[in-house]
Amino acid sequence: MSTDAIMENMHHVNQPMEFQEENSKKDQNVMPKPLIKFFQGEPEVLGVTQLFIGMNHIFFGIILTISFHDSHYYFTDLFVHSGVLFWGGIVYVLSGSLSIAASYKPSLGKVNASLALNIISTIAVVASVFIFVAIFMSLAYGHHYYSSHCAYYEPSLECEGEFRSKVLHDGITSTLLLFTVLELCIALSTSIFGCKTVCRTSYSDVVR
């Protein structure tokens, strides 16, 4: 194959890439500046993280409801009876879904909805923080008992395997606290960038 033929093939291969770059630059020029400000907050990444946090809240809520429904643990009573893990998790999932949707096809309505749900998520996080404070105060100043379970194999009376519920209690509480703090940061960040976007009115609603 001659050198001219090789150069011609390379030229044909590079044309689609150059065309995509030109389209990308055109899209950036068409997109209003306030929406560019919204994209600086990385709504897609934060939305995926919110989805993960919301699903984990619902997952742990199901575990606590099934495993500790008849127990007398104060932290379980608060989490289960308040339902914060369920309605909080649902709000986080909806907030994350709208943030992802707004990042793919941005519009003023989607950004407004994302802002509203992230504000609700912030309220849910604050409610969760109050529950955590009540739990930690109860653990620090209250009296609690923890049960343990052993596995025996007859006729031996030696404990072959021991399960301590306190370990599960500490693990679930620590994990939920970590996710709650992370959700607070995400909800505040998305709300701030969303507010900077919707507070401006000098651009069209739909990005074409």
pLDDT at 182: 92
**Burial profile 63-72: b = 16 or more Cβ within 10 angstroms, e = fewer:** ebbeebeeee
d(CA 54, CA 99): 14
Domain limits of the chain? 31-198
Q: Is the CB of residue 96 less than 8 Å from the CB of residue 168? A: no
Q: Is the CB of residue 144 less than 8 Å from the CB of residue 76? A: no
**C-alpha of 104 from chain center:** 18
pLDDT at 200: 59
Q: Is the CB of residue 87 less than 8 Å from the CB of residue 115? A: no
pLDDT at 52: 93
128 CB-near residues (< 8 Å, 6+ apart): 84, 88, 176, 180
The residue assigned the tokens 């052993």 is 150
Q: Is the CB of residue 156 less than 8 Å from the CB of residue 147? A: no
**pLDDT tens series, the chain, 208 aa:** 554 554 454 444 444 444 444 444 434 445 556 666 666 667 788 889 999 999 999 998 888 777 765 555 555 667 777 788 888 899 999 988 888 887 787 777 777 888 888 889 899 888 888 888 877 777 666 555 555 666 666 666 666 666 566 667 777 878 888 999 999 998 888 888 777 777 755 444 444 4
pLDDT at 13: 44
Q: Report phi then psi at 184, rounded to 5.
A: -60, -45
pLDDT at 88: 87
Residue 129 burial (CB count, 10 A): 14
Q: Nearest-5° angle of CA 166, CA 170, CA 171?
A: 115
Torsion, CA 185, CA 190, CA 192, CA 197, rounded to 10:
170
Straight-line distance from the first to the last Cα atom of the chain, in angstroms, rounded to the nearest whole number: 45
